[in-house]
Structure 1
Amino acid sequence: MSKKILVTGGLGFIGSHTVVELQNEGFEVVIVDNCSNSTEEVLDGIVAITGQSPYFERFDLRDKSKVQEFFAKYDDVGGVIHFAASKAVGESVENPLLYYENNLGVLVYILQELTKKGSASFIFSSSCTVYGQADRMPITEDAPVKPAESPYGNTKQVGEEIIKDVCKVNPQLSAIALRYFNPIGAHPSNEIGELPTGVPQNLVPFITQTGVGMREQLSVFGDDYPTADGTCIRDYIHVVDVAKAHVAALQRLVEGENKENFEVFNLGTGTGSSVLEVIQSFERVSGEKLNYRVAPRRAGDVIQAYADTRKANEVLGWEAKSTLDDAVRSAWNWEKKIRDYEKTSV
């Protein structure tokens, strides 16, 4: 298989970190991104870390003719890591058709092109949201997929089903769905990190923006859950660990080590951390007291979700290396850097 890899959404949070790890492992990367939730400046960060500039094409993958033109131009692409998707749960509830068009239509267009090739590898950016409130902790890959709580979650479930169906009739296509738990943090170089547009939808960016004074106060949604401290529990994993897992999954497909042509792996640390524990981690690594208040529960929040990572550990030979403090510290350093940059560039 060609070592040229398409990374859709490669300027985004997880995508950009994965591009770095791919280039570090000798892969040639082509990024497609419409910059709806990222900026071209991220390319500078990637080059600063790796010393290499990936190919970059800026267009919207919802344009089927542009997708076809891309694969005609880059006919030596041997694999795809697919991140490009809308990802805000609340927005998906308000605008479901946008999510179905962007997250499922684009997936179909890419798979149509890949199935024309002699052989190809495909890594899908899935999510632990497919499990809903799982019956048992930690969550294994065999846990039942629960009815989705949102159109966003549904696009991940249906996306996996589409890939599985396509793989059944196209044995030359090999695919892996990676179900992430909660990626956080930033690259240790401080050259790339999370850049949420508008109000952050995720806990850690809201914490760091509150810590740096950009947000007045963090709301903790509920302290009466049946957990040790009453707050929800999630599995927070450093984004660099997530990126390295994509390389391990791709290498498994490239080297033909996969047992089936559609496989699923959880990506997490195997440890659950409560909202209050994440706040305490931030206060520990930053030396700052965080201004937060307890607010009513938020609709749709599951009580707890953390991964059983044995399958990824044993089959992919991958495991998360960073602690919660490591990940939160990197997120805080990144937040301070981008705010200092904004001050000096005004």
Structure 2
Amino acid sequence: MYGAQHLHEFGGLPAVDFQHTGAEGSRPAADAAAWRVSVEPYGDDDRDRPWADEFADFLGTVDPAGVKALIIGQWGEAYEENSSVPIDLVIAAADRLTSLEAVFVGDLEAEQAEITWIEQSDVTALLTAFPGLTEFGVRGGTDLVFPPTKHERLRSLTIQAGGLPAQVVRGVIDSELPALERLDLWLGVSAYGGDTEVADLAPLLSGTRFPRLHHLGLRNSEVQNEIAAALASAPVVAQLRTLDLSNGTLGDEGAAALLEGQPLTHLEVLDLHHHFLTEAMEQRVRSSLEPHGVRVDLSERNEPWDNRGAEGRYTAVSE
């Protein structure tokens, strides 16, 4: 499977690697970039350079009071050191990062660490330390901790995983996030800890948890058909503008359940890319929704492995 890629933008700003910026004249202004701070533990020049040293250089070079978006990249050998290492350092600098609005933890590509090798921790500590955050993202579900939390301003939450534990999903859903508008969860597969069941999603699907939610992504799941069937009658759908069921194992049965359920013609976007629909079902989805102005993404049609039918379907990101 192909892995997750480096962020190209975050928080509405272009992603810039701090370690690759040059002299002051060529470096973006502090508030003009989403700054990715990372180290390369296998490089000739920066071998074993602690992330703490790189972050200290960042704070001393880029005006921390102007930084709006921060991307925590590779902090060492991510399968040995968990994300509490950089998280604690960022929290310790909270009194300097006074304009911070967006944080992403774990922006590693597969060449650096497979998504399931990224050792996470209790990432909600960042939400507590930065009450002004409006966007928050995490990559990696291994040892990820997300207890129910309260945050007044968070508008966008993304968790990308090859296997997202049900306890994390329940923690997110049980959180008090009154401003949340966008929720994107990569649920993953059971072989890598993705044990979320449709029943765990029930409070979210009821539409009562996040009244301002208009974008919902329940993606990269091996139970994509079951999720689609649940959404066919889920009250939350009525408040959405964008529904994203991409990167999973969606087949004709899941797509049919969606079309035969409540109307979807109010949506602006239905994203189903990386799917296992037949051409006939693709056409049925398009003819049902596109005349109503719904933008439907049906790119990346796949065939099951070894002609094994539904058992041979696979998510876009697993290991």
Tell me, yes or no, whether TM beats 0.5.
no
TM-score (norm 2): 0.35
TM-score computed with the length of structure 1 as normaliser: 0.32
Q: Which has the higher helix share?
A: 1
